[in-house]
Chains A and B, each alone.
Chain A
Amino acid sequence: MQEAENCQLPADNQTLVTFRALVEAIVPHTPELAGFGELQTLGAADLGVHYYLAWELDHTLALFFGIHLTNFPLAASTARLLNVGAVQFAAASQLIQPINCSHWVISPFSALAPLDRIRVLAMLEQLRVDLGTLPPPYQNNGGNVKFIIDYLNRATLFGTYSEWSAYGSTRLCTPTERVLQSFPIGWEQSGYPGVSLGYRALRGFLLTIVRDKGVSTIV
């Protein structure tokens, strides 16, 4: 049995920088939307969704190792997958935009321009990569690579547009200890009014089922 979580994230800096670059490429900061209110400029990185990815990946896999149920954190190896992908992408001269050299040492993936990061994801997903060079559990396991690339996309969106970021200082706690601290920004950006007890939205009925002695008729 695992210990109760405290609210700290174990992920290392390289992992967080890599995931930050990932979520920023998927849901970017968009100054051009300032005309619709400052809030519309915020992107997934502003909301800390890279922390969400790291938390989720570190809490998703438990298997028996020897005789004990053991948690296998996946955040660091998944970030490494993206970085290995970025290196191979650059080495194959596929870059379309220049890289940011100062970032390269920390995280090659984050040194790429946003659209090139997306191209790295596509390359990995299509398994146009030397599978032997990837870290476990992705090494020579194309199925796991496909699964995780897809997961990273959908989890970034779910993290951004659900209420997760509004758990604020409690967002990395165990879920039962999270407390909502503000109205979720992703909900505001999408015009969702928030959870509701109901809507007076009834516009009538097209058909009704009427039951009599075990037989249904439609009126």
Chain B
Amino acid sequence: MYDADVIVIGSGGGGAVAAKELGEKGLKVLVLEAGPFYGNKQWQNPNSERGGEWSSSYHDLDIGLYKKTYNLYENNMNDVVSGAIRFGPADRRRDPWHRKMPQQGDIWQASGVGGTTQHYWAQSPRAFPSAVDHIWPISYRELIPYYEKVEATLPVQFSPITPKEELFYYGAKKAGWTLNPTLNVVTPGYRPNPNAILPPNKHLMDPNYSMEQLNHMEGCTLQGHCVNGCTSGPSVDRIAKRGTLVSYIPLALKTGNVSIRPNSFTINILTEQDPKEGLRACGVQFRDTWTGEVGELKAKTIVMAAGCIESPRLWLNAGLPYNAWVGRGLTNHYFDWVGGVFDEKDLLSILGTTSVFPYAGHTSGARVDIPGIGIFQVSCLSPGLMSFLTYGFSEAGYNALRPPEPGEPWNMRGRVVGPELKELMKHYSQTMTMLLLTDDEVRYSNRVEVDPLLKDENGPIPVIHYSPSAKTLQRRDKLARYACETLQHAGAKKIIRSDLPTGFLLHIESTMRMGHVVDSNCEAYQVKRLYIADNSVHFNGIGGPNPTLTTQALATRTADKLAHKYFGHSIETDK
């Protein structure tokens, strides 16, 4: 009667982890993923042909196909409308899946095996303990063994130093920040990013090895394409940047218990009434994104990991019981972005080179953590992405029409246009940029809902509203000041604060919050046997740190709890 023990919906940051953990426990797992499966023999031309249906074998993974798709070109990879990594069907002739967001901004999520971790930058810090303890239904301590397990599995390691990190540390030290050698951040300070990136190739600095050779060996080559998906590695599962497509998915397939069906958009959750358990989940309906055919699968338990927008959308479209918190409480680290342009001679004296080399090294390799406020982290990108984030994407309008007041720690705020922009982009190589992550306060009014009229092939479409609280705004402003002061101390001659739009959504969290929609084991209060294992179960924005590691720790824990409750396994941390 059942097709599997567990169906996992979505194979991104959280779903892939749940699948691997459950498969390792010997449970039979089916994963349904809306987008394509890149680097897999079953799909030779994943963006133009339907290809196979399921992949159940580690041997399906194919590094040649992987590198053919992940070609590192920024427009080809990242274009939100038509890029290889976008939120849309595998068929790139088709339009992306639409979300309505009536405000400035952009929702940056990706479909496909690996989900949004395909272009995440692999920063994998733990939550700030102060954002969890006495606030979440579970304690920080309870998370630690799961953090350890995920960090060892990915694995997570501190970033190496390349010129931009050196410049960042130089400025941070001069601005008075001290080194914080820890994974559990309770005081402010700077440190390298704990990144899910393999350590640099041991032969990287040895000219006897060509770059071509190094690219086919294990270890990061500091190629600086983390956002485009990374191509350094001898096989899919040894690629340097550890998105789940190359980390947890290969491990899941290796268990022999996990089958993955890409191109399968789950459109409904099937439930039944059980005399003892009450309402419980027992299956799903999904739509093949190539043929439009609708299929049905049954399982004893369901894990929803469709991400912070699609999980609530699926709940609502499936007509699951009303819960006032479904889709509510969205947090987003209300991002900001600042950049400093340096003189070549200053760079020469600090770094011994005239360039920041913004394109070399981890996309982001170092940070200043400030519990209670947030984080600023050096983050540098190729020019297309860098130009729009630094000079073209803002809630503050145009710098030329509304220049900042004198005395601010930035010389420019908002979009830059005209000859001034071209002059600035000429100095791209002398520009260090930083991403700012705010400790974002939960507000009930920030939400995902479904449109009463508009539909796509998968049902009523999501509508997103986000506006920061006064406290979040204050913290963000402080953070921008701290970051710009660090740039000043490093010697930047011009400083720009983009003032990114409120609706720039990358670190979406807490739309199906623990304690409101799911219990402390991440099982839905109102629908038994339905678990959630993506960013949406976070109780808040974890204080500002990048969210994925916490999702992965929770997904590991959730797999434990699920296997214990419904399959009689012992809990791993009790062993």
The answer to whether A28 and B388 have CB atoms under 8 Å apart is no
What 0/1 pattern do residues 421 to 448 of B give for CB contact below 8 A with A? 1110110110000000000000000000
User: For chain A, which range describes its interface: under 10, 10 to 19, 20 to 34, or 35 or more residues?
Assistant: 35 or more
CB proximity of B88 to chain A, nearest CB, Å: 9
The answer to whether A196 and B76 have CB atoms under 8 Å apart is no
Separation of A105 and B472 alpha carbons in the complex (Å): 47
With A160-B387, A196-B359 as contacts: A209 and B157 at CB distance below 8 Å: yes
What 0/1 pattern do residues 206 to 238 of B give for CB contact below 8 A with A? 010001101100000111110000011000000
B279 at the interface (CB under 8 A from A): no
The answer to whether B383 and A161 have CB atoms under 8 Å apart is yes
The answer to whether B232 and A198 have CB atoms under 8 Å apart is yes
The answer to whether B157 and A208 have CB atoms under 8 Å apart is yes
Question: Number of contacts between A and B (CB, 8 Å)?
Answer: 288
The answer to whether A43 and B422 have CB atoms under 8 Å apart is yes
Contact of A176 among B48, B155, B163, B455 (CB under 8 A): B48
Tell me the nearest residue of chain B to A65, going by C-beta. B455
The answer to whether B419 and A28 have CB atoms under 8 Å apart is yes
A51 at the interface (CB under 8 A from B): no
A122 at the interface (CB under 8 A from B): yes
User: For chain B, which range describes its interface: under 10, 10 to 19, 20 to 34, or 35 or more residues?
Assistant: 35 or more
The answer to whether B158 and A174 have CB atoms under 8 Å apart is no
B256 at the interface (CB under 8 A from A): no
A-facing residues in B319-374 (Cβ within 8 Å): 355, 357, 359-361, 366
The answer to whether B400 and A209 have CB atoms under 8 Å apart is no
Tell me the nearest residue of chain B to A186, going by C-beta. B383
B254 at the interface (CB under 8 A from A): no
Max count, chain A CB within 10 A of own CB: residue among B392, B393, B426:
B392
Top-7 shortest CB links A-B: A143-B102, A198-B221, A162-B384, A190-B428, A162-B75, A62-B95, A157-B392
With A27-B421, A197-B211 as contacts: A158 and B456 at CB distance below 8 Å: no
CB proximity of A98 to chain B, nearest CB, Å: 18
The answer to whether B417 and A26 have CB atoms under 8 Å apart is yes
What 0/1 pattern do residues 284 to 301 of B give for CB contact below 8 A with A? 000000001000000000
Contact of A150 among B104, B191, B205 (CB under 8 A): B104
Contact of B214 among A175, A176, A198 (CB under 8 A): A198
B546 at the interface (CB under 8 A from A): no
Provide the residues of chain A in CB contact with B224, threshold 8 Å.
196, 199
The answer to whether A195 and B48 have CB atoms under 8 Å apart is no
B-facing residues in A147-169 (Cβ within 8 Å): 147, 149-151, 153-164
The answer to whether A207 and B158 have CB atoms under 8 Å apart is yes
Tell me the nearest residue of chain B to A71, going by C-beta. B95
The answer to whether B455 and A63 have CB atoms under 8 Å apart is yes
With A157-B391, A204-B161 as contacts: A176 and B398 at CB distance below 8 Å: no
Stretch at the interface among B143-151, B477-485, B505-513, B537-545: B143-151
Tell me the nearest residue of chain B to A36, going by C-beta. B426
The answer to whether A216 and B215 have CB atoms under 8 Å apart is no
With A59-B95, A153-B415, A202-B161 as contacts: A189 and B387 at CB distance below 8 Å: no
Contact of A214 among B145, B160, B169, B392 (CB under 8 A): B145
